Copies of this chain bind each other. A is one copy, B any other.
Amino acid sequence: MVVYNELDDAAVDRIFRALADATRRDIVRRTLTEEASVSELARDYEMSFAAVQKHVAVLEAADLVAKIPRGRERIVRGNPETIRRAQELLGRFEQLWRGRIDRLDALLAEEPETN
């Protein structure tokens, strides 16, 4: 099973950019736990419907949510897979750091006299 996780720079940009806003993070949280239409979401924020609609669009472009048509509504559903990928990316950063520490440790173990 090939789980291809190739996210190009632009896609990663969109994901982190989308997460860099408290309203959008809240929408992701909400729609991960329960689906909601755009207007249901909009009711809970102190901004216009159109503003919330734009936030949802930003999240959708980043594939952090999907919008599913149901009658005249669009049901917004959080996408855990993209969250997982973002987490994975950060995990690789941490791995890099761990690699450096391991190399430093190895160096100290090999050549203690050079200290």
A interface vs B, CB < 8 Å? 9, 12-17, 19-22, 25, 28-29, 32-34, 78, 80, 83-84, 86-87, 90-91, 93-94, 96-97, 99-100
Contact = CB atoms under 8 A, between A and B. Distances in A.
Contacts of A94: 80, 83-84, 87
A14 B16 CA distance: 10
Nearest to A19: B16
B17 A16 contact: yes
The dominant DSSP class at the A interface is: helix
A34 to B, nearest CB: 7
Contacts of A96: 29, 32-33
A66 to B, nearest CB: 13
